[in-house]
Amino acid sequence: MKHLSLILLLVLPTLLISQTVKTAKDFDLEVSKPFPVVDAKVKDYFIHDDEILAIKVSGNITLQKFDANSLDQKSRKEVSIKKNMPRGFVHEAFIQNGDKVFQFFNVWDKPNKTEQIFVHEISFGSMSIGSKKLVSKIKGKVKSAMGSNKINLYQSFDYSKYLMVYHRHPKVKSDKVNKDRIGMTVLDENMKVIWEKEITMPYTEAIMDNLGYTIDSKGNAYVLARVRSSSDKTKSHLELLKYNDSNTPKITEVKANGKHFPHGITLVEGKGGIIYCAGFYGEGRSANGIYVSVINKDGAIENEQFHDIPLEIINQNVSERKQGKNAKKEKKGKEIGIHELDLDHIIVNDDGSFLLVGEVYYVTRSTTRTSNGGTRTTYHHHYKEMFMSKLTAAGKVDWMKKLTKSQTYSTSGGGGFGFGGFSSASFNRAGPDLSYKYMSTDTDHYLLYLDNIKNLNLPVNKYPATHSSGKGGFLTAYKIGDADGAVSKLSLFDLKDVKGIQVYQFNTGRIMQPSNDEIILELYKKKKQDIMIRINIK
Whether 134 is covered by a domain: the verdict is no
Whether 279 is covered by a domain: the verdict is yes
- Average pLDDT of the chain to the nearest whole number: 85
Whether 231 is covered by a domain: the verdict is no
pLDDT band at 411 (very low <50, low <70, confident <90, very high): confident
Q: Considering only CA atoms, which of 462, 450, 368, 438 is closest in space to residue 409?
A: 450
Q: Which pLDDT score is estimated for 237?
A: 84
Q: Considering only CA atoms, which of 266, 329, 318, 328 is closest in space to residue 292?
A: 266
Q: Is the pLDDT of residue 346 over 50?
A: yes
What is the pLDDT averaged over residues 249-268?
85
Whether 312 is covered by a domain: the verdict is yes
C-alpha–C-alpha distance, residues 478 and 444, integer Å: 10
Q: Which pLDDT score is estimated for 108?
A: 95
Q: Which pLDDT score is estimated for 511?
A: 87
Q: Is the pLDDT of residue 358 over 90?
A: yes
Angle at 234 between CA 230 and CA 236, to 5 degrees: 65
Angle at 87 between CA 82 and CA 88, to 5 degrees: 110
What is the pLDDT averaged over residues 352-376?
90
Q: Are 291 and 259 in contact (CB under 8 A)?
A: yes
Q: Is the pLDDT of residue 379 over 80?
A: yes
Whether 36 is covered by a domain: the verdict is no
Q: Is the pLDDT of residue 56 over 50?
A: yes
C-alpha–C-alpha distance, residues 136 and 210, integer Å: 22
Q: Which pLDDT score is estimated for 27?
A: 58
Boundaries of domain holding 289: 255-427
pLDDT band at 272 (very low <50, low <70, confident <90, very high): confident
Whether 367 is covered by a domain: the verdict is yes
pLDDT band at 15 (very low <50, low <70, confident <90, very high): very low
pLDDT in tens, 485-525: 999 888 888 999 998 999 999 998 888 877 767 889 999 99
Whether 348 is covered by a domain: the verdict is yes
- Give how many domains the chain has, as a whole number: 1
> Which of 24-28, 375-379, 447-451 comes out lowest in average pLDDT?
24-28
Q: Which pLDDT score is estimated for 446?
A: 87
C-alpha–C-alpha distance, residues 451 and 478, integer Å: 11
Whether 408 is covered by a domain: the verdict is yes
Residue type, 51: E
